[in-house]
Amino acid sequence: MPLIMLTGGGTAGHVTPNIALIAEAQRRGWQIHYVGSVHGIERELIEPLNIPYHAISSGKLRRYFSWENFVDPFRVLMGFMQGLILCAKLKPDLLFSKGGFVSVPIVIAAWLLRIPVISHESDITPGLANRIAYPFCRKICVAFEATVSFLPSAKVIVTGTPIRESILRGDKAAGLSFIGLADDKPLLLVFGGSLGAAVLNAQVRSVLDELLETFNVMHVTGAGNLDSSVDRPGYVQLAFVAQEFGDLLAAAAVVVSRAGANSLYELLALRKPHLLVPLTGAASRGDQLANAETFEHLGYSQVIHEEAMTNATFLSALRQLYEQRTSIVERLSSFEVKDSVNLIANEIGRQIRTQPGA
């Protein structure tokens, strides 16, 4: 029975595609182990699946001064040593990496022990952790065709992004029941990713009364961002939604989101009219700006930038999105949704079979 090791962490976007792959791998009879950080969100998401979880030391590259920048190289070195010991002990047949800085030491360790490595890039432009890892990978799976130009073409496979079955099989009635709202108004779903988005949270609350004239509002705030003083009929706020998120997407008429690649891919796949508010270049490496620009140009996404966002522009963009939702859904129907889970699982199977002695 093949043993597949998965890694990825830091945000939910580096983990949820792996969860989709885990379900398929288990159907194929593969053993699965997961490598993540000690305290990262990946541990919270993976441990309930009852698969072995191995925590290793990891660091990160900060775009600001911090004394931890001097300590993190030693953490990465420790993670690399832990990764070598883990790979030597478990002897996995393959490592699949979804990225995040926790993945770098285990990818290099696996490569040194001649364990095949496949990685996946969700964004239009590759992230730093994946760029460091690419030389050690046999294959690089990407979500979007536009990403191919940034990578060594001989290694690249356009697979799309794995989506959990709970997202694809969402149920509108179940979603409304979960949040206790009637189907008397269209539902506006607002979420800012697993870590939340302070800018989105403040914007929604500042125009909540106006929004509630047209919509019921489901607001996913991120951990620690609930505001008990905001209480209106037709408004529900939750810090985080896991298994029921697919039902909420099914119930939503329109969505407001950051422009993280995995969330964006889910919105495209589900044909959901959406307004993207990407992270600024000052707050990120610019990946969300590139994601938003690409799909705005294709006519799939409406975009409003933080610098231009006021109460008036935000409300105007949402009204326009809702009024044009039918034509937007028609355009979204032209987006090709690949069978990502099977494409990646099949490639994993090929790489296992091509190993010497396999």
**Beta-carbon-side half-sphere exposure of residue 292 (alpha carbons within 13 Å):** 22
Same fold, 3-160+338-353 and 166-332: yes
The closest of 23, 184, 1, 10 to 93, measured between CA atoms, is: 1
| Predicted pLDDT of residue 178 | 98
Phi then psi for residue 258, to 5 deg, are -65, 180
> What is the distance between the alpha carbons of residues 242 and 47, in angstroms, rounded to a whole number?
14
> What is the distance between the alpha carbons of residues 43 and 61, in angstroms, rounded to a whole number?
21
pLDDT in tens, 298-310: 999 999 999 999 9
**Beta-carbon-side half-sphere exposure of residue 29 (alpha carbons within 13 Å):** 2
pLDDT in tens, 116-160: 999 999 999 988 888 899 999 999 999 999 999 999 889 999 999
| Predicted pLDDT of residue 14 | 86
| Predicted pLDDT of residue 59 | 67
Query: 3-class DSSP state for residue 126?
Result: coil
Domain residue spans of the chain = 3-160+338-353, 166-332
Domain 3-160+338-353, CATH class in plain words: alpha beta
Query: 3-class DSSP state for residue 35?
Result: strand
**Beta-carbon-side half-sphere exposure of residue 50 (alpha carbons within 13 Å):** 1
Handedness of CA 306, 311, 313, 318 (dihedral sign): positive
Mode of pairing for the β-strands spanning 252-257 and 31-36: unpaired
Spell out the residues 6+ positions from residue 234 whose beta carbon is closer than 8 angstroms to its own: 181, 185, 212, 215, 216, 217
Query: 3-class DSSP state for residue 112?
Result: helix
Phi then psi for residue 235, to 5 deg, are -120, 125
The closest of 182, 226, 181 to 201, measured between CA atoms, is: 226
> What is the distance between the alpha carbons of residues 210 and 316, in angstroms, rounded to a whole number?
11
The DSSP secondary structure of 272-288, one letter per residue, reads --EEE-PPPTTSSSSHH
| Predicted pLDDT of residue 195 | 60
> What is the distance between the alpha carbons of residues 281 and 245, in angstroms, rounded to a whole number?
28
pLDDT in tens, 20-53: 999 999 999 999 999 999 988 899 999 999 999 9
Domain 166-332, CATH:
3.40.50.2000
Ranges in the chain, pLDDT < 50 = none
Contact at 8 Å (CB) between 59 and 82? no
